[in-house]
Amino acid sequence: MNQHARMDSQPIPFIDVAAQRRRLGKAIDDAVNKVLNHCQFILGPEVRELESQLAVFCGARQAVSCSSGTDALMLVLLAKRVGPGDAIFCPSFTFAATAEAAALIGATPVFVDVEAETFTMDVNNLERGIATAKKLGLKPKAIVPVDLFGLPADHDSVAEIAEDAGLFVLDDAAQAFGATYKEKKLGTFGLATATSFFPAKPLGCYGDGGAVFTNDDALAETIRGLRVHGQMPGKSEFSEIGLTGRLDTIQAAVLIEKLKIFPEEIEARNRVARRYNKKLGQVAIVPRVPEGYTSVWAQYTIRLESGRRDGLAAALKAEGIPTAIYYAKPSHRHEVYKRFPIADGGLPVTDKLAGEVISLPMHAYLDELTQDRIIDAVKRALGN
Ligand SMILES: Cc1ncc(COP(=O)(O)O)c(C=O)c1O
């Protein structure tokens, strides 16, 4: 077997965390070793350092790190005293954690539809969802738009509806930290933004982690207390019911090193996406980035006519190319979430997308040879 043939049959990773690990090797080893030596494993100096770097990176006044993206969402809702009887509007076409954060604290997630072109919240349907919640006797409290697959939601339109209805906005940017909307980075829209540092995210650590961003100093302070069981900074009293919600110092040390190369990695992801778009636009519906938006491409997701997806996934698998389906079953279709309301009229776009989407390998270390192998295989499978 010659060199080229051998490469052609090697399995391709869907997200190559190991490639980045190889690149950063010693820098991360040294950063972790520093923590191992100073032994301040909880809220050590790296945590504060990371928080100030994250705040500068995205332009928010405050960054509060925490234990996961789900906890980031929940900490904001807890700080705003959201609870039973309150309606939280969120898409169903997202990871379950978006609705889970509201449900965990006893509030009611109300599912609204998304737009097919961007996969993000459909603001017309959001208005319908608000009316549905009122009809059910719920108190509309917050909108949680999701910046899905790395692309920002339509934040201006969401903000307009939030203002009219007297709701606050909690942006779920778990998949999209680093993306921009009208030249501003995510982390600066709405009252607060939550993100995740799960290893597969565009900016991921080596375990679980997350952060909240806000320009509201008092809110940030409350969240700093809530992530330590409700003990407010500098106080001995427990004044709130909180949780163990801190980011480990070791994870902060890892993230400080990763943040240094993050802008370059975002560029690399965009290069891959542009190339995919150019070469696959004829055989599938490729993702569109609206004017004035940038994406960090947490996923590169194409759409096919219903019924063609399984064939593509099987053909690619046979060639060592993994695919993933986000989301074959939107949140409102899961048994455990069926008890929560959906906007009157149903979620037709969400249900349609669930049968059409398929994501291809995407990461900053996907070289052109490998991209071509994927592109050629997709074209072959789709009969072009
Ligand atoms: C849209 C969205 N929200 C929230 C989360 C939760 O983040 P975590 O896994 O860090 O709790 C995720 C994680 O995949 C996500 O994709």
In angstroms, the CA 75 to CA 220 distance is 10
For 239-282, the pLDDT digits (tens) are 999 999 999 999 999 999 999 999 999 999 999 999 999 999 99
- Confidence band of 10 (pLDDT split at 50, 70, 90): confident
Whether residue 380 is predicted with pLDDT greater than 70 in this model: the reply is yes
For 43-97, the pLDDT digits (tens) are 999 999 999 999 999 999 999 999 999 999 999 999 999 999 999 999 999 999 9
Going from the C-alpha of 76 to that of each of 70, 170, 259, 328, the distances in angstroms are: 10, 8, 24, 29
Report which protein residue has its CA nearest ligand 1's atom 4.
97
In angstroms, the CA 340 to CA 371 distance is 41
In angstroms, the CA 358 to CA 371 distance is 16
Specify the ligand 1 atom closest to the Cα of 208: 10
Q: Return all residues near 289 (Cβ < 8 A) that are at least 6 apart.
A: 151, 295
- Mean pLDDT computed over every residue of the chain: 96
Beta strands in 71-115 (DSSP E): 86-91, 108-112
Specify the ligand 1 atom closest to the Cα of 201: 14
Question: What pLDDT shows up at residue 222?
Answer: 97
For 112-165, the pLDDT digits (tens) are 999 999 999 999 999 999 999 999 999 999 999 999 999 999 999 999 999 999
For 172-198, the pLDDT digits (tens) are 999 999 999 999 999 999 999 999 999
Within 6 A (CB) of ligand 1 lie 68-70, 94-95, 97-98, 146, 172, 174-175, 196, 198, 208, 210
In angstroms, the CA 359 to CA 75 distance is 31
Backbone angles phi, psi at 168, to 5 degrees: -100, 160
**pTM of the complete model beyond 0.85:** yes
**Structure-token pair, residue 205:** 């650590």
Rounded to the nearest angstrom, the distance between the alpha carbon of 174 and the centre of ligand 1 is 5
Whether residue 6 is predicted with pLDDT greater than 50 in this model: the reply is no
Specify the ligand 1 atom closest to the Cα of 197: 10
Backbone angles phi, psi at 232, to 5 degrees: -65, 145
In angstroms, the CA 248 to CA 65 distance is 9
